[in-house]
Structure 1
Amino acid sequence: MENLPSTVSERRGRTSKSQKPSLLIVMAFFSCLACLYVAGRLWQDAENRVVLNSMLKKNYDQRPKVLTVGDKLMALGCKDIEGKIIETEMDLTLAKSQGYLKNQKSGSSPGKKLLVVIGVYTGFGSHLRRNIFRGPQGDALRKLEERGVVLRFVIGRSPNRGDSLDRKIDEEDQASKDFLILENHEEAEEELPKKVKLFFSAAVQNWDAEFYVKVDDNIDLDLEGLISLLESRRDQGAAYIGCMKSGEVVVEEGEQWFEPEWWKFGDEKSYFRHAAGSVILLSKNLAQYININSGSLKTYAFDDISIGSWMLGVQATYIDDNRLCCTSNIRQDKVCSVA
């Protein structure tokens, strides 16, 4: 009995010694599993990267390249179109620099160039004034066309589009065939500067003439005198003809001839030299310059000032002719006079 404690102690020692190797084996097993798991994840990530890289490379190789215009034209079998486009662009650049457009539509007969297209500014209530131009028999304008002179009454549309004013003009035009109706223009006093751009553009597009003339219908115009004046200027290039004047810029709002952009005209507030608005004559290339650049040409409060500002930027030949000064009702060898 005395040996019992020692026996129990020995057993406990043996049991403790036998448990330690088992615990180490279990820990080693789990350590191996952890290593295998980590190694597996790393291997899988590496494989994923390889697959992803190969997919990216494949997609990159298959991505369509950026094609130039030349490549596209070549692919379409239209390489010759590229040459035509370049040629057209060069022609257009030349046309703009010289102030004309090639192969322009003309209302005159083929091979026949008119002397002048005259645009008489008219209004809805100016029927009697128009009849004066038409002559007693109503055929004066037709006879003028036989001599290469086209006269048209220039008018826009009523602010109330399609009303009785528009209908009366349409009916009169159907009977006389002597209107140039500006469909995109609203007939109003404040719209006159825009009207002059539309007139010259429409006239150039519809008739091939040496000169284009804007005339107010509130003057008496000597058509024979005007024709004689233009015939004497047939060879005059870039001609800007009229009764040249300057004058003070009106800066007070509400006064007659008020100029909203008066501050642009310097400290002395004087207009630059320009042809008076009653009669303004432009040679073909200047009229075509307005047509080509109408979208960017600046307008001022008055049409004659606007035209004068456009002429400042080109090589226009200013011709001051006092026969075009319609300042009184006495002609004295004048082409026009106050009606």
Structure 2
Amino acid sequence: MPRTHSHLPLSTSGEYSKTGKTKRPLQIPSRPRTPLPITVISALCVLIGVAGISLFLLAVLRPRPAPVFRCGRIQDTFRAFYSLSSAWRLGGGDSGVGNATGMERRKLLGFVGIQTGFSSADRREALRSTWLPSEPEGLLRLEQATGLAFRFVIGRSKDAKKMAELEKEIEKFQDFMIIDVEEEYFKLPYKTLAFFKAAFELFEADYFVKADDDIYLRPDRLATLLAKERTHKLSYIGCMKKGPVITDPKLKWYEKSGHLIGNEYFLHAYGPIYVLSAEVVASLAIARNNSLRMFSNEDVTIGSWMLAMNVDHEDNRAICDPRCTPTSIAVWDIPKCSGLCNPVTRMKELHNTSMCSKSPTLPPDDR
């Protein structure tokens, strides 16, 4: 009989051996299952990577806050602005430059703290458009030329909106020193003490000047005054005055502690501007909180401390001149106002007067 060929069905379940007599299963390798812990860890790594990239992009693209030089809660925005800048070293070396961790005190002839508040942005604008440079580079050049550093001094506020507006101004001008005290008009004696303590922490100056933001000042002439030789190291320089103690609560200059003083105030400097030597400020800097008596009026309060410290009272009328003269250092409307009566307008009017802004500074012997 002829040999017949059987048709074998195709099968995916196995294959024939070479002899054709035995059949063994087809081995299809299966994909190994990934252990659950490895899967979880891989997912976490991916998420961490995505988060890291997102944070990097956010840090690069978002607006950067103004840098600050910090000493505790004291901030010097100007020093931070130049701490990493070559421009700071124009004066020769970078000694005295602080940073977020450093505590070096910059050496100066004098430090001028211009006391200001949250509602005084227009006054600060008037100063920056007249006798005070409006750019950090200008402030630096002024410091190098006179030995005087200038900052607007302001406390803090619980009002987030006020602080946000201040941050914008800081970022633009970099000319603030923020001190750790609540900014409030009726707490000016406390702010003044906090200012002197903060300034002493940050600067190794021969003199510390408290000035208000409503006076017209000649920095070059102030530097000449401070450079004058003095035999007494404990110096208190200002326009000295006395006057009746106001005991009527309805009047502006009411002194609630008037019964401790009597009918007339002791000799003290007018508040818009006065100067303390480094030795005097050093004593204030180490004073314990609440160890110094506070009166209602800031200038009276300082005057009382000066009496206790046996300082030399140097009366100088050039820093309270009611008009610009060849010798005037600070001009304001004494005795009508404690400062310029209409500071924003008057500041610019004075600056446009040649006698105020362009008259030469006389040699020390001629003052």
In the superposition, the TM-score normalised over structure 1's length comes to: 0.63
Alignment of 1:106-121 (within 5 A): 113-121=107-115
Amino acid at match of 1:287: V
Matched with 2:204 is: 208
Please report how far the alpha carbon of residue 203 of structure 1 lies from its aligned counterpart in structure 2 after TM superposition. Answer: 0.0
User: Which segment drifts farther, 298-307 or 162-171?
Assistant: 162-171
Matched with 1:333 is: 327
Matched with 1:94 is: none
Matched with 1:101 is: none
**2:123 pairs with one of 129, 137, 145:** 129
Identity across the alignment (%): 34
Alignment of 1:156-235 (within 5 A): 156-158=155-157, 161-183=158-180, 185-233=181-229
Q: 1:144 to 1:265 in 2, by over 3 A?
A: same
Q: Is the 8 A contact 2:106 2:202 kept in 1?
A: no
1:150-188 per-residue CA deviation (whole Å, 9 max, x = no partner) reads 111011122xx14211111122113322111123x2212
1:259 paired to 2:255:
yes
Matched with 1:311 is: 306
1:71-130 per-residue CA deviation (whole Å, 9 max, x = no partner) reads xxxxxxxxxxxxxxxxxxxxxxxxxxxxxxxxxxx7679796210000001122322332
**Could you list the runs of 5+ residues in structure 2 that have no partner in the other structure?**
1-95, 333-339, 341-367
Structure 1 CA distance for aligned equivalents of residues 107 and 133 of structure 2: 28
Please report how far the alpha carbon of residue 145 of structure 1 lies from its aligned counterpart in structure 2 after TM superposition. Answer: 2.3
Q: 1:330 to 1:144 in 2, by over 3 A?
A: closer
Structure 1 CA distance for aligned equivalents of residues 186 and 166 of structure 2: 21
SS in 2 for 1:307: helix
SS in 1 for 2:169: helix
The higher radius of gyration belongs to 1
Q: 1:131 to 1:234 in 2, by over 3 A?
A: farther
Structure 1 runs (4+) greater than 3 angstroms displaced: 106-112, 131-137, 233-236, 329-332
Q: Is the 8 A contact 1:298 1:306 kept in 2?
A: yes
Q: 1:107 to 1:131 in 2, by over 3 A?
A: farther
1:206-246 per-residue CA deviation (whole Å, 9 max, x = no partner) reads 11100000001111111111111111146651111000001
**1:290 pairs with one of 284, 300, 318:** 284
Query: How many residues are matched?
Result: 228
Please report how far the alpha carbon of residue 331 of structure 1 lies from its aligned counterpart in structure 2 after TM superposition. Answer: 4.1
Please report how far the alpha carbon of residue 307 of structure 1 lies from its aligned counterpart in structure 2 after TM superposition. Answer: 0.7
Q: Is the 8 A contact 2:209 2:273 kept in 1?
A: yes
SS in 2 for 1:260: coil
1:141 paired to 2:139:
yes
Q: Is the 8 A contact 1:155 1:181 kept in 2?
A: yes
Matched with 1:277 is: 271
Q: Is the 8 A contact 1:243 1:275 kept in 2?
A: yes
Greater share of helix residues, 1 or 2? 1
Pairwise CA RMSD of aligned residues?
2.2
User: Which segment drifts farther, 240-249 or 312-321?
Assistant: 312-321
